[in-house]
Amino acid sequence: MEAFYTVSGFLVGAVIGVTGVGGGALMTPLLVLVFGVAPTTAVATDLLYAAITKSGGMWVHTRRKGVEPTSLMPCR
């Protein structure tokens, strides 16, 4: 069964890499429907992972000065 987790993770990663679809759109239903994880646990896991990875991406872009601060201001 552990090999099945690894293979499914690899396949989801490959599909995400090719299509650009968010991981939660594929992994959360897979966790619920195939692996029998409770829906609240699957969604919470996805949200936690997304928060960590997006925070890391924000930190890197900020350090590299890749974000123009005026683009974050609302239009007037």
* Contact predicate 21/15, CB 8 Å: yes
- Please give the model's pTM, rounded to 2 decimal places: 0.68
* Contact predicate 31/37, CB 8 Å: yes
Confidence (pLDDT) at 70: 80
Confidence (pLDDT) at 44: 94
Per-residue pLDDT of the chain (76 residues; tens, 9 = 90+): 789 889 988 998 899 889 888 888 888 999 999 999 999 999 999 899 889 988 998 899 889 988 887 877 787 6
Confidence (pLDDT) at 51: 92
Torsion from C-alpha of 36, 52, 50, 45, nearest 10 degrees = 20
